[in-house]
Chain A
Amino acid sequence: MKNSKYLPLLATFVVFVLAYVICISVFPNMLSTRVAGNLLTDNAFLGITAVGMTFVILSGGIDLSVGSVIAFTGVFLSVILRDTSIHPLAAFVLVLALTTAFGAAMGGIIFFLDMPPFIVTLAGMFLARGISYLLTTESVPITHPFYSTLQDLYIRMPGGGRLTLIAMIMVAVFAFGIILAQRTRFGTYVYALGGNLTSAQLMGVPVAKTTIGIYALSGFLAGLSGIVFSLYTSAGYSLAAVGVELDAIAAVVIGGTLLTGGYGFVAGTFLGICIQGLIQTYIVFDGTLSSWWTKIVIGLLLFGFIALQRGLMWMSERSSRNMRHASASGAQPTSA
C-alpha cells in the first residue's frame, strides 16, 4: 500500500534536488563541499531551533518565542562573559537551564490554563526580547579565548570544505530529533497530541507532561541555537534574530509538516533548511540579486506547499472513501 504520509517529504526532496540541479547548472562551482559546509554553518542556528519548532508544530502548537530566546541567550552570554569570570561552558549550562525552564513554563501555562499556544508564546516572545533589552541595548562583543578555540574547531572535508563545530552540532541535533520523534514514547505522544487531543487523552497519553516537555525541548533548542548564534557572530545583541521564529516555521512547513499537527518528519525540516540555504547561496553567487529574493522565493514555496498539503488531504479523503468497502470486505473475520 502506498503511504501518503511520505508524500510531502518526497515533494520536499524533489524540490531540493531540482533547486540544487538548477543552481549547479547556472553556477557549477556550487557543487562543492565548500559550499555545502558553508551552507550548514550559516544555517546552523536556524536548523537547531527548527528541530524544536518541528516538535511543537507536530503537536499542533506553535512557538513564537524562539527568535527572542536566541537573542536573549546571546545577550546573556555576552554580558556574563564580559562582567564575570565564569567559564563559557558554565555559562552555557546556566543559559540552557534558563531557556529550558522558560519553555517548560510556557508549556505549563498552555496546558493548565488551557490557553492557545499562539498567545502564550507571543507573550513569551515579548518577555524574552524585553529582558534582552534590559540587560543591554548595545551589541556586546564576545572576546573570551575559549570562543576562539570553539570557532576554530572543524573537520576538513574532501574538496576543501569545512564542517565547523556549529554545523556538526546542527547535524547532531537533527539526528537526535529524528530518533526522538520516531523511536521514543515521547515522540509518539507528540504525534498523538497533534492527531487528536481528546483521543490522546482517552488513550492515556500524559498530556500535561508531554505538552510541557515539548515546549521545554523547544526552549532548550532555542537556547542551544542562541549559543551557536553567539559562536557564529561572536557577539550578543538584543535586536538579533528578529523573525527567526518565522523562518523556522517556514522551514518546518516547507519540510512537509502539516501546520495543524500530527503529520510530518524532522528530516523534512532539514530539507526545508537546506532549501532556504540554497536560495541564499544562489543569491550570493549571483551577486546582483537583492537578498530579499530569498523571502520572495520562500513565500512562493510556502504557498506551493500549503496548496500541496491541502490537495493531498483532499485526495486522501476521497481515496479513503472509495476504499471503505474494499477494505471492509478485504479483511473478513474468520468465524470464532
Chain B
Amino acid sequence: MANAQPLLSVRGVSKAFLGVSALENVDFTLKAGEVHALLGENGAGKSTLIKIITGAYRRDEGEVLLDGTPIYPRDVVDAQKLGIGTVYQEVNLLTNLTVAENLFLGRQPKRFGLTDVREMNRRSRAILDTYGLSIDVTAPLANFSVAIQQVVAIARAVDISGKVLVLDEPTASLDAHEVEMLFAVVRQLRERGMGIIFISHFLDQVYEIADTITVLRNGRLIDTVPVAGLDRLKLVSMMLGRQLEADFKRTIDPNTAKAEPLVSLRGLGKRGNIDPLDLDIRQGEVVGIAGLLGSGRTETAQLVFGIERADSGTISVAGTPVNMSSPRRAISQGFAFCPEDRKTDGIVGDLSVRENIIFALQAQRGWMRPLSRSEQEALADRYIAALDIRTSDREKPIKFLSGGNQQKVLLARWLATNPRFLILDEPTRGIDVGAHAEIIRLIVDLCERGMALLVISSELGELVGYSSRIIVLRDRKMVSELTGDEISTEHIMKAIASHGATGEAA
C-alpha cells in the first residue's frame, strides 16, 4: 500500500465534561485497508474518542481530518454522510422492518413517487451477495440471528458511508462461529480498502483481526503499535498501566476440597436458560463462573437464588433438598445475591447509605420487627468502616457515591444478613482500579473466614486469582470444570473457544 495521506487522522483532540477531562491531546491515525483496534479499560476514553469521530460529541480542541480535509460532523447522520459509519454492539437496526427496508431506510428507490419494493429487494440481495449472505430480504430482521443482523448493519453502514467503519464491540454477544463469520466480512472490507476501527474486550479477537493497536488509558494516548510481534503481556500492561498480576493465585487449603458441600446442585437447569448442570460449593471455597456474555452465567445464579424457577434438578443445602421457589426462600437458607446491574437491580438511589445497607436484614427479620435507629446506625457505621466505604456521611443518598462504593454498600447489605453462601454477579464491573482491588481482597477474606462464594466475572485474570474452582459456561451449557493447576486464563479461554462445532447445517 502506498503510504499516502492517512484516511482518518485525529490530532490533539481533547474533550472535557463539566471540567473533568475525558480525553486529553489524543492522536489517532487510520490508514485505508487497515483494521485498527482501539483498546483500553473502562474510562480510558475509547468511547469518547469514538463519539467524537462519529459525530455524537463535539471536540473541545484538536482536529479530525478525513482524507486530509478537516471535518466537523454535526451528528451521527452527518458523519455517515461524510463517510464514517458505525455499528454498535447492540445492533441499532429496526427488527420489525424487513432486511431490505433496514438496508434502504431513508433512501428507498422510488417509482412513480412510491417505494419500488421490487427494486429495493433486488438491490438488497445484490448488496448482501457481496458478503456471501443469501437470506430472504423480505423477512423481518427479527427472524435472523444477531450475527446476521450485525452483517446487515455493516452492509448498511458500508453502503452509506464507505470510507471508515467503526465496529464498537460487535462480537460481545456472538459465539465463536458467528465471530468467524463476522471476521470474514471485516477482512473482505479491509481488502476493499476501507479503514476499520475495531473495539473489543476480547484480546484473542484483536490479535486475530487487527493490524494496528492503539491503547488509551485515563483519557491519554499510551501508544500505537503494530500487532505483529506484540507481546500479549506487554499489551495488557499498557492497558492496565501496571504489570499483570497473572501469577497471583490464592493458595488454597487442600482440606476444603474434602469437606461436605454446603450447596450442591444436581441436574439443575431451565430450558432456554441453562442446560442441567451439577455443582458443589463448599464452605471456604470460591467457585468462579466464566463464560461470554449470554453463556448462561447470570441465569445460573438466578436459578440458584430462586429468581427463576428451575424446570429440572435439585438444590440441596447442607445435604437437605430445598425447594428454591423464590428469593425469600433462598435468603432464609442463608443465601445472598449481588446482581450484575446494580443500578437497576440493586441500589435504591435516593435512599441513604444506611437505608441501603439495612435493607436485606430488615426484609429477613420481617416488617413487624423493625431495627431501631441506633441499631441501624451502628450496623451502617460498622460496614462503612469494615469495607472502607468512602462516603462523607452515612445519610448521604447512595446515588452520589462512586460505582465502587455503591458496590461495597451492596455487599454490606448482604453481609449484614450474615449469609452462609454469597453469589456475586460481576462484582467489579465499572468500578475504578483501587476499589477493584479492595473488592477482590474482600472476596478472598470472606472465603477464608469460611463463607461459600459463587462469583461470576468477565475479568478472567481476576477470577483465576481468587477461585478455588472455575466452571466454564458456553452456549448455556457447562463445558468445563477447572481445578488446581488447571485454573488459568489460558485454560478458560480454551474451554470457551473449544467445542466449536455448534452451528449444525441448516
A323 in the interface, Cβ–Cβ < 8 Å? yes
Contact in complex: A203, B145 (CB < 8 Å)? no
Q: Inside 8 A of B185's CB, which chain A residues have their CB?
A: 333
Q: Does A179 touch B at the CB level, under 8 Å? A: yes
A185 touches B96 (CB 8 A): no
Question: With A185-B106, A191-B96 in contact, is A328–B76 under 8 Å at CB?
Answer: no
A119 to chain B, nearest CB (A): 24
Q: A199, B187: Cβ atoms under 8 Å?
A: no
Closest A residue, CB atoms, query B77: A204
Interface pair A325/B504, CB less than 8 Å apart = yes
Total residues of chain A contacting the partner, CB 8 A: 43
Is the Cβ of B115 less than 8 Å from the Cβ of A184? yes
- A202 (CB) vs chain B CBs: closest residue: B92
**C-alpha gap A3/B133 in the complex (Å):** 20
Looking at B114, B135, B143, the one whose CB has the most chain A CB atoms below 10 A away is: B143
User: Residue-by-residue, is B138-164 near A (CB-CB < 8 Å gives 1, otherwise 0)?
Assistant: 011011111110010000100000000
Contact, CB under 8 Å: A329 / B506: yes
Q: Is B359 an interface residue (CB 8 A)?
A: no
Within 8 Å CB of A202, what residues of B? 76-77, 92
Residues of A contacting B117 with CB < 8 Å?
A: 183
B503 adjacent to A329 (CB under 8 Å) = yes
Given A3-B139, A183-B115: A333 touches B133 (CB 8 Å cut-off): yes
CA distance A203 to B108 in the complex (A): 13
The answer to whether A332 and B97 have CB atoms under 8 Å apart is no
Interface residues of A in 310-331 (CB under 8 A from B): 316, 318, 320-321, 323-331
Of chain A, the residue at the smallest CB distance from B160 is A204
Q: What 1/0 flags go to B106-146 for Cβ under 8 Å of A? A: 10100001110100000000000001111110011011111
Whether, in the assembled complex, B191 has its beta carbon less than 8 Å from a beta carbon of chain A, the answer is: yes
The contact string, 1 if C-beta is below 8 Å from chain A, for chain B 478-506, is 00000000000000000000000011111
The minimal Cβ–Cβ distance linking A132 to chain B, given in whole angstroms, is: 37
Task: List A residues 165-224 near B (Cβ within 8 Å).
Answer: 179, 182-185, 187-189, 191-192, 194-196, 198-200, 202-205
Closest A residue by C-beta to B476: A321
Q: Known contacts A205-B106, A320-B143, A321-B272; is A327 also within 8 Å of B135 by CB?
A: yes
- Measured between beta carbons, the chain B residues less than 8 angstroms from A3 are 139-140
Chain B residues whose C-beta falls within 8 Å of the C-beta of A198 in the assembled complex: 92
The A257-278 residues at the B interface (CB cut-off 8 A) are: 262-263
Contacts of B175 in A (CB 8 A): 328
Contact of B148 among A195, A328, A335 (CB under 8 A): A328
B145, A195: Cβ atoms closer than 8 Å: no
The verdict on B177 contacting chain A, using a C-beta distance below 8 Å, is yes
Evaluate contact between B145 and A188: CB separation under 8 angstroms.
Answer: no
A84 within 8 A of B: no
The answer to whether A195 and B177 touch across the interface, beta carbons within 8 angstroms, is no
Q: If A183-B115, A185-B108 touch, does A195 touch B92 (CB 8 Å cutoff)? A: no
B101 within 8 A of A: yes
| Chain A CB within 8 A of B467 CB | no
- Contact of B115 with A325 in the complex, beta carbons under 8 Å: no
Q: For residue A336, which residue of chain B has the nearest CB? A: B188
Residue B246 CB within 8 A of the other chain: no
Q: Which residues of A have CB within 8 Å of B80?
A: 204
Q: Tell me if B7 is interfacial: C-beta within 8 Å of chain A.
A: no
Complex Cα distance, B117 from A329, in Å, reads 28
Establish whether residues A328 and B177, one from each chain, have CB atoms under 8 Å apart when the complex forms: yes
Given contacts A316-B142, A320-B142, A332-B132, whether A203 and B92 have CB atoms under 8 Å apart is yes
A sample of 9 cross-chain residue pairs with beta-carbon separation below 8 angstroms, ordered by A number, consists of: A1-B136, A1-B143, A5-B140, A196-B95, A199-B94, A316-B142, A325-B177, A328-B177, A336-B191
B residues within 8 Å of A by Cβ?
76-77, 80, 92-97, 101-102, 105-106, 108, 113-115, 117, 131-136, 139-140, 142-148, 151, 156, 175, 177-178, 181, 184-185, 187-188, 191, 272, 502-506
Contacts A199-B94, A332-B132 supplied; 11 other A-B pairs, CB < 8 Å:
A183-B117, A185-B106, A191-B94, A195-B97, A203-B92, A203-B94, A323-B144, A332-B181, A333-B131, A333-B151, A336-B191
A-B pairs with lowest CB-CB distance, top 8: A329-B503, A336-B188, A330-B506, A333-B132, A334-B132, A195-B96, A262-B96, A195-B94
